[in-house]
């Protein structure tokens, strides 16, 4: 029976408190965005100097940092002077974890967190929150914000390539078409491991132009063709493997089937389609559920189970020939014409 006495409110705060706090996560992100940890790396500084360096209000900054000090981030060795500590050092720009970049509210990953301010809209309507929060649908937003588009490409390129590629046997592939392949990091990884193969990189024109430069710098330009186009349009033919690496989860079921159908049409009767996704629903349920919610808010996409991918493939005219979970939790799904 629920406690309706004097202990009810304290008990409720004890149970729900860890789930409710928005102040500390946002304060940490603001400190990261302002590069406060960089400024105090060499030693404590008065808040007036920190405010000057970060272009902020000194009183507001002091109040922000005092909140973080209470939670073990930064120190205040004397009133109004703030310094580094072990936790704050993780927010430095040069820390190998790159946590500052992930928390920067002016950056791509920060935008991915801020989109959660539209969560109520999404739950009420079923629509992505990105347009409500940032004024345009996700893909249009990237198209009109080149810096964010480049950051998105970088984020997609920062995956665990060896793990993603290791779930499929590429040894018999002669022509690999990387559909929605960004700047070509995945394709380059596979081609460098299989010098007998060649590739085609397919993505939007501004993205594949960055890919052209990337592939040339890796000495792969003579082995790679470039196709600047939407994957909702007919794809280049002639490949024997069409790969979709972390693409399908960006889209709802109808759009996902349309992409897979384009791949199936281009692959023809002898080709194969390989789907690589970042989460296996049988692995870490909490991470799967969080990313599923993120995809809904950002673009209307979703994370899926093996059974869901199998159903999508069947609707697109493909049969799943093999499923290979990787050591780091990716799903690699090999498909052939039905």
Residues serving a catalytic function are 249
With contact defined as beta carbons under 8 Å apart, do 141 and 148 qualify?
yes
User: Chain-centre distance of CA 5, in angstroms?
Assistant: 46
**Helix H or strand E encompassing 27:** helix 23-33
Calpha distance 170→252 (Å, rounded): 29
CB-count exposure of residue 82 (10 Å: 0-12, 13-18, 19+): buried
Q: Enter the tokens of residue 181.
A: 């392949």
Q: Are strands 81-83 and 45-46 parallel, antiparallel or unpaired?
A: antiparallel
CB-count exposure of residue 135 (10 Å: 0-12, 13-18, 19+): exposed
User: Percentage helix, strand, coil, to 5, in the chain?
Assistant: 50, 15, 35
**How many residues are there in the chain?**
338
């Amino acid at each position: 029976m629920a406690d309706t006495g004097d202990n009810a409110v304290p008990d409720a705060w004890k149970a729900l408190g860890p789930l409710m706090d928005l102040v500390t996560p946002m304060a940490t992100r603001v400190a990261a965005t302002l590069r406060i940890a960089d400024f105090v790396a060499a030693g404590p500084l008065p808040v007036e100097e920190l405010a000057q360096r970060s272009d902020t209000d000194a009183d507001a900054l002091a109040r922000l940092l005092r909140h973080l000090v209470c939670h073990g981030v930064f120190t205040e060795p004397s009133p109004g002077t703030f310094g580094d500590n072990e936790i704050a050092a993780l927010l430095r720009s040069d820390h190998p974890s790159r946590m500052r970049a992930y928390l920067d509210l002016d950056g791509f990953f920060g935008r991915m967190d801020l989109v959660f301010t539209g969560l109520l809209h999404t739950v009420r309507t079923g629509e992505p929150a990105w347009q409500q929060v940032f004024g345009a649908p996700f893909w249009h937003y990237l198209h009109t914000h080149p810096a964010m588009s480049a950051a998105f490409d970088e984020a997609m390129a920062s995956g665990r390539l060896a793990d993603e590629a290791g779930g499929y046997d590429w040894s018999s592939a002669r022509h690999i078409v990387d559909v929605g392949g960004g700047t070509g990091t995945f394709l380059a990884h596979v081609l460098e491991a299989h010098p007998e193969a060649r590739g085609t990189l397919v993505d939007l024109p501004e993205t594949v132009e960055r890919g052209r430069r990337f592939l040339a710098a890796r000495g792969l330009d003579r082995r790679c063709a470039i196709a600047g186009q939407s994957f909702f349009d007919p794809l280049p033919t002639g490949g024997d493997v069409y790969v979709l690496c972390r693409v399908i989860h960006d889209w709802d079921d109808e759009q996902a089937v349309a992409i897979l159908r384009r791949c199936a049409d281009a692959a023809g009767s002898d080709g194969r389609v390989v789907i690589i996704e970042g989460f296996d629903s049988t692995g870490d349920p909490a991470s799967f559920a969080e990313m599923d919610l993120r995809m809904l808010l950002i673009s209307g996409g979703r994370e899926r189970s093996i059974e869901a991918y199998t159903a999508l493939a069947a609707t697109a005219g493909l049969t799943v020939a093999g499923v290979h979970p990787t050591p780091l939790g990716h799903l690699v799904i090999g498909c052939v014409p039905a």
